Amino acid sequence: MYVCLCEAITDKQIRNVARKYHVTSLKGLRQILPVGRECGKCIRQTREILQEELRHL
């Protein structure tokens, strides 16, 4: 499912990056994926996905 339409980034990509690089923050994620750099509508959902990943650590 696409989370960030502007950059064509899916929830799977976000989860993969979070797991592979042990990313726990939006700031850290954005150093790897350009999520939320345009309109910003995806920021909230991206944070929720990161929170879910943290719960599974």
Cβ proximity to ligand FES, 22 vs 41, nearer residue: 41
Q: Does 17 bind ligand FES (CB under 6 A)?
A: no
Q: Does 52 bind ligand FES (CB under 6 A)?
A: no
Rounded-to-integer distance, Cα 57 and Cα 9, Å: 22
Among residues 25, 26, 31, 40, which is the contact residue for ligand FES, using CB under 6 A? 40
Rounded-to-integer distance, Cα 56 and Cα 40, Å: 26
Among residues 23, 36, 49, 53, which is the contact residue for ligand FES, using CB under 6 A? 36
